Copies of this chain bind each other. A is one copy, B any other.
Amino acid sequence: MDKTIQEVLDCYKMCVETKMYCLEKGGKHADPKHIQALADCAESCKMAADFMIKKSPLHGKVCGVSAEACKRCAQSCEVMEDDEMMQKCAEMCRKCEESCMKMSSM
Contacts and interface: CB of A to CB of B under 8 A. Distances in A.
Interface residues on A, range: 35 or more
Contacts of A68: 58, 61
Nearest to A32: B23
Nearest to A26: B30
A53 interface: yes
Interface in A6-47: 9, 13, 16-17, 19-20, 23-24, 26, 30, 32, 35-36, 39-40, 43-44, 46-47
A86 interface: no
Given A23-B30, A36-B56, 20 more contacts: A13-B49, A16-B53, A17-B54, A19-B54, A20-B32, A20-B55, A23-B35, A36-B54, A40-B51, A40-B56, A40-B58, A43-B50, A43-B51, A44-B47, A44-B62, A58-B65, A58-B68, A58-B69, A61-B65, A61-B68
